[in-house]
Amino acid sequence: MAAAAPTRAEVLALFRSLLRTAKQFSDYNIREYTRRRAADAFRENRALADAPAAAAAFAEGKKQLEVAKRQALVYSLYAPKAKSVMELKAQ
Domain boundaries defined on the chain: 8-72
Spatial separation of the C-alpha atoms in residues 28 and 34, rounded to whole Å: 10
Per the confidence metrics, is the pTM higher than 0.85?
no
The model's pLDDT over 25-79, given as tens digits with 9 standing for 90+, comes to 988 889 999 999 999 999 999 998 889 999 999 999 999 999 999 999 998 888 7
Looking at residue 86, its pLDDT comes to 74
pLDDT at 83 over 90: no
pLDDT at 1 over 50: no
Spatial separation of the C-alpha atoms in residues 32 and 36, rounded to whole Å: 6
DSSP state of 55: H
pLDDT at 19 over 80: yes
